[in-house]
Amino acid sequence: MQYDLVEKLKKEISGFRDEPELEAVGLVVEAGDGIVKISGLYNAQSQELLVVETEDGDIFAVAFNLEEHFIGAVLLGEATPVRVGARVRGTGAVLSIPVGIEMIGRAVSPLGTAVDGKGSVFKDIDGAETAPLERKAPSVVARESVNVPLHTGIKAIDAMIPIGRGQRELIIGDRQTGKTAIAIDTILNQKNETNRPICIYVAIGQKSAKIARIIRVLEEADALKYTIVVSAPASAPAALQYLAPFAGCAIGEYFMDQGKDVLVVYDDLSKHADAYRELSLLLRRPPGREAYPGDIFFLHSRLLERAARLSREFGGGSLTALPIIETKLGDISAYVPTNVISITDGQIYLESDLFTKGLRPAINVGLSVSRVGSAAQTKAIKKVAGRLRLELAQFRELEAFVQFASDLDDVTKSKIHRGQILTEVLKQSDLQPLAFEREAVILFAALGGYIDEIPRARIKEFEAGLFEYIKSMHDDIFTKIASSRMIDDELDIALTGAIRSFIQIFAK
């Protein structure tokens, strides 16, 4: 009897495990400024979605800092008061966003909820597919070289700084130099394209009124039907501003994985860096250069690396990224600008000086480059614009002598004159992107020297008239360039003829 009891006890003791089960529950030990410090929750992973139980209901947070005894998390809701001692549950899932075709034409928050007052985006939010906000960039084998153009509809860019689908091209410049305008024009221009990409405009830290204006512009130009706006205005918590570009990228990847082409604009990554700095400082991460945390380079590189042109085996989709960076007094050597410059495949530099002189878009052609796009440039534009960069460079050198114009020889004079004509041709108002066949036609006329005799003040008028004339009298020229994407000898002759006869009419 005694023996039995001892045996029983022995058995029970041997079955005893001295390992308490870990329950995914923690407690808030510190709260404030949209940040909570949590104890417990030992098995939380980085970027895991957490649920904080407050008196007003559950709110979401994301695990950011995983330390030995504590987790630093950022709250995703508006400044809801969180009490010390509040319970926190882990969800086991990293942060993701619902995605789907329903998003097209809508403005959403970085968490996928509607912000345009048109009702919920998804009929069945629980049934919707989700995409993780952070995902590994496509590997080298999944990629193909960039060889399909992404026309911006802006003459200077398509001719000299061509962008290809899957490329990352930075738009950089001081405030109010037309950065957003270039991105928006590019979105508007996709209306003209045959294989139209889905466009995603990510607004980070901008005034709500400005974002509303952009949505209105897209709507009025009938471009919202293929565009998604991801909005994290200045009034949104820093956490949401931080997440916005990743959300835009995740939505883009969803479509890219289906073999579609996608264009994503990040407007702008300077404000994104500021939001990240704010979060990092609140989380007491050590500040580095310009008080940005040390991993700011990694932040932007892991975002922009996700832009890709996938090979055919992987569906052949693409994600083109147009990040925007705002500089201060043209200083491109500041921390965030240099980082992003080094991550991207090229830059479009905008300058206040040019902008105030009326040279708009205010692109500094000498400094701007596109390192991969020329492989994707349409033959038609390549043929007519091949010499454009060179002629403009020569013109800039000679421009200094303009004041002594009477002493110049004829060759120099004509070079200066041509440069002035080209400069005039490259001026383009915002919200007026041109289909590439039209760009090809006007550049053909300008670089062929056909419009050297037109007074500079009338160049814009001439351009509009020429398009009108060709459209009504020789529409086949436009359709042929658009379909064959090149100007062969036959088209060359037809186009020269059309331009000559219009010049006769125009001169009268």
- List residues binding Mg ion (CB under 5 A): 179-180
- Give 8 or 175: the residue with its C-beta nearer to ligand ATP: 175
| Tokens matching residue 40 | 């417990």
CA distance 201 to 239: 18
Site string for ligand ATP, 301-340 (x = CB under 6 A): -------------------------x--------------
> Which of these ranges, 77-85, 169-177, 196-204, 444-452, lies near ligand ATP under the rule CB under 6 A?
169-177
Q: Given the rule CB under 6 A, which of 172-180, 189-197, 214-222, 304-312 is the region that contacts ligand ATP?
A: 172-180
Give the residue among 347, 253, 267, 346 at the shortest CA–CA distance from 302: 253
User: CA-CA distance, 190 to 265, in Å (whole number)?
Assistant: 13
Work out how close the CB of 361 gets to ligand ATP at its nearest, in angstroms, rounded to a whole number.
4
- 3-class secondary structure per residue, 161-215: CCCECCCECEEEECCCCCHHHHHHHHHHHHHHCCCCCEEEEEEECCCHHHHHHHH
Under the criterion CB under 6 A, does residue 177 sit at the interface with ligand ATP? Answer: yes
**Shortest distance in whole angstroms from residue 296 CB to Mg ion:** 21
CA distance 500 to 490: 16
Residue 106 token pair:
């809508």
Shorter beta-carbon distance to ligand ATP: residue 217 or 482: 217
Centroid of chain to Cα 148: 18
CA pair distance 459, 314, nearest whole angstrom: 47
List the one residue out of 163, 166, 129 whose CA is nearest residue 250: 129
Please identify, using beta-carbon distances, which residue of 179 and 474 lies nearer to Mg ion.
179
Closer CB to ligand ATP, 216 or 471, in the complex: 216
Q: Which of 285, 371, 389, 485 is catalytic?
A: 371
Smallest distance from Mg ion to CB 267, Å: 6
Under DSSP, the state recorded for 401 is: T
Question: Which residues 432-471 are close enough to bind ligand ATP by CB under 6 A?
Answer: none
**Is residue 396 flagged as an active site residue?**
no
Q: Binding ligand ATP by CB under 6 A: which of 33, 53, 399, 430?
A: 430
Near ligand ATP by CB under 6 A: residue from 73, 181, 416, 470:
181
Binding mask 377-416 for ligand ATP (x = CB under 6 A): ----------------------------------------
Question: Per DSSP, what are the bridge partners of residue 227?
Answer: 199
List the one residue out of 170, 202, 165 whose CA is nearest residue 318: 165
Give the residues across from 223 on adjacent strands.
none
Rule CB under 6 A: is residue 270 a binding residue for ligand ATP?
Answer: no
Q: Are 194 and 150 in contact (CB under 8 A)?
A: no
For Mg ion, the closer CB: 321 or 442? 321
Query: How many Å apart are CA 460 and CA 428, to the nearest integer?
Result: 9
The partner in contact with residue 429, picked from ligand ATP, Mg ion, none with C-beta cut-offs of 5 to 8 angstroms by kind, is: ligand ATP
Asked if 189 is part of the footprint of ligand ATP (rule: CB under 6 A), the reply reads: no
Count helices and strands in the chain by DSSP H and E runs = 16, 17
Closest CA to 109 of 236, 234, 262, 272: 236
Q: Which residue is nearest to Mg ion (CB)?
A: 180
429 belongs to the binding site for ligand ATP (CB under 6 A): yes
Please report, as ranges, the residues that interact with ligand ATP according to CB under 6 A: 173, 175-181, 326, 360-361, 428-430
As annotated, the active-site residues are 371
